[in-house]
Chain A
Amino acid sequence: MTAVRWTAAGLLLASLSTGTIADSRPENPHLILGGYQVMAADFHVHSFPLSWATLAPWDTALEAQRQGLDAIAIVGHNHVWVSKVGRWFSRREGGPLVLTGEEIVSEHYHLLAIGIDSTIDWRQTAVRAIEQIHRQGGVAIAAHPLRQYWPAYDAQATQTLDGAEVLHPIAYGSVDVAAQLRQFYERAPLTAIGDSDYHGLGPMGLCRTYVFTKEKSQPGILDAIRHGRTVVYGRAGCTYGDPDLIRLAAVDGRLPQLALRTAAGATQAAGFLGLFSRIAGTLGLTAAAIAGFAIVGQTPASQIVTTGSR
């Protein structure tokens, strides 16, 4: 068992060393198109605790930076305080722009409230929730609006919504789901949003929104969403958003190329060091679990504990 322990320690040390060396932060390209600054954003990011997420807000902000995101909205499930912690940390550390927000999780709909400061109650209709988001100066985005959530968005709610997630990782798993998101988006003139709904599994920003802002700030991003200045790139050449901006980006060529790389997950730990870290890490953890939890030994009959009855 001692040999297994040493093997585990060696593998984990090697994995941590190589993984840390390979853990680079890419420089985000500063794109200016048509006089707008183009920001890569993910408006549907969850943080630990209280949202079924694995990373704390400070780690979430750093991970966003590593995934080449300029802005994220940390949206707690029915609360905003974790996003405030994330914003405070990111400002302090010079990380990406963290927008405060909440995912209003009701039994009838899921709604992203971006740019708000106080928690909005989930026990109300979508229309009333949207009203409250607007009253706080935020924008309302329908989160993964699958068919089951459509009844919650009546005509009034759909008209007052600012945007809808037209691209979400669940769309990559099913043609039908992708069609449902597209159909909802086409119901009204809504701003196109691509979000990863990040809980910790898979890369943050796998689906992302390119926001064409006048200034790199929360008001600048909210203004762009209100006025529909976004572009979202899906797979197989699907592009959503403002047709003029899509054309502008296509003529320039840099943004579609960048989007293609991120959609393929190019920001994950790549190269030999990354591969080595993941192999050594998985083997090291397995060896540690064997060394720590396998019980090796025989039970002499004379030593069997008699179980009392209490």
Chain B
Amino acid sequence: MLNPAAAYRFLACQPPGRGGWLTWRRPLLVAFVLGCTMSLITSSSLTLRLAVPATIYWSFVPLAEIAALAAVCWRGRRARSFRQTVDLFFAGHGQWLFWLIGLCAIWSFVPPGISSRTIAFTQVWLYGAGAIVVVWSAYIDFWFFRLVMGRNPARAGRDLVLQRLVSWAPIIAIFGGPAIPPEVAARLGVRFGL
């Protein structure tokens, strides 16, 4: 996570694992952490009632990422199986999980009555740390495309942008939905037919 170039050089040299489990182990862990996060930030504890269903419906996030990865990488996989490609791609998701766990920690440990301090701290974490994670994850995935997929720098950058567009667009659309156009318009000062 801290030195993605060295990590991916190391991982790319490892003998490929076997079995369907290889494809799903890290995506499932991402979905599970997402589900647990929803439980912790909602009820300040980890409950089966919330964690299990949230894990199921939030698995659309890793699924969208796998679909986008397939769209971008399917043809240029060299000798590596798609299972291994998925596993290595998700190996670069640690920073997202630590960011989510940080969000859980803030919302489950501070008193639930909202105060200005809680709001400020949450916003710093959500947007400040979130922005750092976005940039850092792009850096990690750039090295994934360079060293695992064997792309040159320009092609690695292009694949990274494509992967982000293909996966993040549906994720944001499903999460945010029909309020996105007016929200964007409000920020840009655009008027819609009034």
Residues of A within 8 A of B (CB): 12, 15-16, 18-20, 22-23, 48-52, 54-56, 58-59, 62-63, 66, 76-79, 103, 105-108, 122-125, 169-170, 172-174, 200-204, 206, 263-265, 268-269, 273-274, 277-278, 280-282, 285-286, 288-289, 292-295, 297-300, 303-305, 307-310
Nearest chain A CB to B168 CB, angstrom units: 15
Q: Which residues of B contact A297 (CB under 8 A)?
A: 10
Residues of B within 8 A of A107 (CB): 182-183, 185-186, 190-192
Are the CB atoms of B152 and A106 closer together than 8 Å? no
- Residue pair B46, A299 in contact (C-beta under 8 Å): no
Q: How far is the CA of A146 from the CA of B176 in the complex (A)?
A: 22
- Complex interface: chain A residues within 8 A of B46 (CB): 12, 15-16, 19, 277-278, 280-281
With A59-B50, A285-B97, A310-B151 known as contacts, the answer to whether A54 contacts B41 (CB < 8 A) is yes
Q: Which of A58, A79, A269, A308 contacts B178 (CB 8 A)?
A: A79
* Interface 9-mer from B62-70, B102-110, B128-136: B102-110
Residues of A with C-beta under 8 A to B147: 305, 307
Q: Does B155 count as interface, using CB distance less than 8 angstroms?
A: yes
| Chain A proximity of B22: nearest CB distance (Å) | 13
Against A, the Cβ 8 Å flags (1 = close, 0 = not) of B135-146 are: 000000000001
What's the Cα separation between A79 and B176 when bound, in Å? 12
1/0 per residue, CB under 8 A from A, across B20-41: the answer is: 0000011001001100111111
Would you call B40 and A122 a contact (CB within 8 A)?
Answer: no
User: When the two chains form their complex, are residues A281 and B104 in contact, meaning their CB atoms are under 8 A apart?
Assistant: yes
A231, chain B: closest CB distance, angstroms = 19
> B185 to chain A: which residues have CB within 8 Å?
107
Chain B positions within 8 Å of A310 at CB level: 76, 150-152, 155
Decide: A293 and B94 in contact? CB cutoff 8 A: yes
CB-based contact A288/B150 at 8 Å: no
B111 at the interface (CB under 8 A from A): yes
B174 within 8 A of A: yes
Interface size on B, residues (CB 8 A): 76
Within 8 A of A (CB), among B71-100: 76, 91-94, 97-98
A307 touches B152 (CB 8 A): yes
A280 to B45, CA, bound (A): 9
In the assembled complex, the Cα of A288 lies from the Cα of B31 at a distance in Å of: 12
Q: Is the CB of B13 within 8 A of A305?
A: yes
Is B40 within 8 A of A299, CB to CB? no
B18 close to A (CB within 8 Å): no
Q: Which residue of chain B has its CB nearest to the CB of A285?
A: B101
Pairwise interchain contact A265-B113, C-beta atoms closer than 8 A:
yes
Contact of A201 among B9, B54, B94, B107 (CB under 8 A): B107
Interfacial chain B residues near A263, Cβ < 8 Å? 113
